[in-house]
């Protein structure tokens, strides 16, 4: 997750020359280059395509900008226009992403390695489209009052997320990760309609293409129930989740968990905490990863140290 992040000087250099983040995501050559940068430095096993979950609202006709020290900023929601979006125009807008995936998969750095494509889960995309910026707790549930429009919007979002997944797979993505970053903001009574059902539809779709689906439902209240209903191939956990409980409750592959903050401390403290995850999941199927993105002020040498710790674990 966020391998490229902002902690690599080679990424920062490209970023400084490309102040418009959306344009950078839509630059085939540069996105592909950024995707492989971590693979040149570290002995990691997979790459995640450099893109963003908010390219989908953009391709549906909503304006999307990234503002420094603010985050994403979306334009007004014109539902009439969004409901009219045609598959052809959506794909044409995201064509550079598919081109970047294709180019990346063919690079020598990706030999024998997976390339992870991704989407935001329907709920998280819906929230960004309605809220027009990253939400805070209090922004959320009241927005669901205009239910009819929201139901229609959700349907359109699901339809186009499938199209986005399909085209990433067609161009070389070998895994799909579904990020539900704002799952934790929803009332449990609304899970079925906004989280379980829509996400399951994307997972089923991905699996039908013989591609594994990894789900990251950040802040969900009950992982066991989520896994039983949504049935992803892999469940990705953040650092607030108790790994011990997950290892006892869940039988599918688990990914992630380590707090990225540990990369900012001492090697000794990092080692203790990495070992904690590896020990807990020793007799389980576990993909080591962080519980959220690498922080911008991380020293790349610490990432290297971490990868070596994991690779040398026995
Ligand atoms: O490692 C990678 O670069 C992989 C590509 C990737 C990005 N975003 C690039 C990015 C992935 C997988 C994402 C997912 C994403 N984007 C999520 C889900 C995961 C999560 O973090 O919970 C979400 C919620 C977004 C939306 C988004 N994009 C936000 C809220 C922000 C701004 C906040 C921030 O961290 O500055 C982004 C910007 C973004 N997307 C950056 C990168 C590398 C930082 C851009 C920069 O300023 O250089």
Expressed in angstroms and rounded, the spacing between residue 291 Cα and the centre of ligand 1 is 14
The reported pLDDT for the residue numbered 161 is 99
251: in domain:
no
211: in domain:
yes
pTM (two decimals): 0.96
Q: How many helices (H) and strands (E) does the chain have?
A: 14, 9
Expressed in angstroms and rounded, the spacing between residue 314 Cα and the centre of ligand 1 is 33
Expressed in angstroms and rounded, the spacing between residue 182 Cα and the centre of ligand 1 is 13
The reported pLDDT for the residue numbered 149 is 87
204: in domain:
yes
Nearest CA residue ID for atom 32, ligand 1: 71
Number of domains in the chain: 1
DSSP annotation of 263: G
Q: Where are the beta strands (DSSP E) in 123-270?
A: 175-180, 213-217, 234-237, 253-256
The reported pLDDT for the residue numbered 141 is 57
Nearest CA residue ID for atom 2, ligand 1: 2
The reported pLDDT for the residue numbered 142 is 46
DSSP annotation of 192: I
306: in domain:
no
pLDDT category at 4 given cuts 50, 70, 90 is: low
Tens digits of residue pLDDT in 277-297: 999 999 999 999 999 999 999
Position 1 pLDDT exceeds 80: no
Q: Residue 91, exposed/middle/buried by CB under 10 A (0-12, 13-18, 19+)? A: middle
Cβ atoms of 219 and 185 within 8 Å: the answer is yes
Of 29, 86, 85, the closest CA to residue 62 belongs to: 85
Expressed in angstroms and rounded, the spacing between residue 267 Cα and the centre of ligand 1 is 26
- What is the average pLDDT across 77-92? 96
**CA–CA distance, 129 with 75 (Å, rounded to integer):** 8
Residue 25 CA, closest ligand 1 atom number: 9
Q: Which of 52, 114, 139, 233 is catalytic?
A: 52
The reported pLDDT for the residue numbered 262 is 98
For a substitution probing ligand 1, which of 1, 2, 303 has the most ligand atoms within 8 Å of its CB?
Answer: 2
Ligand 1 lining (C-beta closer than 6 Å)? 1-6, 15, 21, 48, 50-54, 66, 71-72, 118, 134, 179, 181, 293
Question: Would you call 52 a catalytic residue per the annotation?
Answer: yes
Cβ atoms of 23 and 92 within 8 Å: the answer is no
Q: Where are the beta strands (DSSP E) in the chain?
A: 46-48, 64-67, 71-74, 114-120, 175-180, 213-217, 234-237, 253-256, 286-287
Question: Would you call 12 a catalytic residue per the annotation?
Answer: no
147: in domain:
yes
Of 223, 270, 218, the closest CA to residue 249 belongs to: 223
Q: Residue 135, exposed/middle/buried by CB under 10 A (0-12, 13-18, 19+)? A: middle
Which CATH number characterizes residue 163's domain?
Answer: 3.20.20.210
**Separation of first and last alpha carbons in the chain:** 25
For a substitution probing ligand 1, which of 178, 293, 297, 300 has the most ligand atoms within 8 Å of its CB?
Answer: 293
- What is the average pLDDT across 195-215? 98
Residue 2 CA, closest ligand 1 atom number: 1
Cβ atoms of 119 and 55 within 8 Å: the answer is no
239: in domain:
no
Q: Which domain holds residue 228?
A: 9-232
- What is the average pLDDT across 50-73? 96
Tens digits of residue pLDDT in 231-273: 999 999 999 999 999 999 999 999 999 999 999 999 999 999 9
Question: Would you call 128 a catalytic residue per the annotation?
Answer: yes
Position 50 pLDDT exceeds 80: yes
288: in domain:
no
Taking the CA of residue 81 as centre, how many other CA atoms within 13 Å lie in the half-sphere pointing to its CB? 13
Tens digits of residue pLDDT in 127-150: 999 999 998 866 665 456 678 889
64: in domain:
yes
- What is the average pLDDT across 23-31? 98
Cβ atoms of 257 and 279 within 8 Å: the answer is no
**How far are the Cα atoms of 5, 14, 111, 293 from residue 297, in angstroms, in the given order?**
10, 17, 30, 12
Residue 51 CA, closest ligand 1 atom number: 5
What percentage of residues in the chain have a pLDDT greater than 70? Answer: 96
């Amino acid at each position: 997750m966020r391998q490229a992040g902002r902690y690599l000087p080679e990424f920062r250099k490209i970023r400084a020359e490309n102040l418009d983040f959306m344009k950078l995501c839509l630059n085939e050559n540069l996105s592909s280059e950024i995707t492989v940068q971590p693979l040149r430095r570290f002995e990691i096993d997979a790459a995640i395509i450099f893109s963003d979950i908010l390219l989908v609202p953009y391709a549906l006709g909503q304006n999307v900008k990234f503002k420094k020290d603010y985050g994403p900023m979306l334009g007004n929601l014109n539902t009439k226009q969004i409901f009219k979006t045609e598959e052809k125009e959506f794909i044409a807008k995201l064509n550079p992403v598919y081109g970047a995936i294709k180019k990346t998969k063919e690079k020598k750095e990706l030999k024998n390695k997976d390339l992870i494509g991704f989407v935001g889960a329907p709920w998280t995309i819906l929230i960004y489209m309605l809220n027009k910026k990253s939400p805070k707790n209090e922004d959320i549930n009241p927005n669901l009052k205009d239910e009819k429009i929201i139901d229609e919007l959700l349907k359109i979002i699901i339809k186009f997320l499938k199209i986005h997944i399909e085209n990433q797979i067609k161009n070389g993505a070998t895994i799909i990760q579904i990020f539900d970053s704002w799952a934790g903001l929803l009332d449990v009574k609304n899970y079925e309609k906004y989280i379980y059902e829509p996400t399951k539809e994307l997972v089923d779709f991905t699996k039908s293409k013989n591609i594994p689906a990894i789900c990251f439902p950040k802040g969900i209240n009950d992982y066991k129930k989520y896994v039983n209903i949504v049935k992803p191939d892999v469940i990705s956990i953040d650092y607030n989740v108790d790994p011990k409980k997950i290892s006892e409750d869940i039988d599918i592959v688990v990914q992630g968990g380590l707090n990225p903050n540990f990369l900012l401390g001492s090697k000794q403290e990092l080692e203790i905490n990495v070992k904690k995850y590896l020990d807990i999941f020793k007799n389980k199927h576990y993909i080591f990863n962080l519980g959220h993105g690498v922080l911008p002020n991380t020293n790349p040498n610490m990432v290297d140290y971490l990868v070596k710790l994991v690779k040398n674990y026995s």
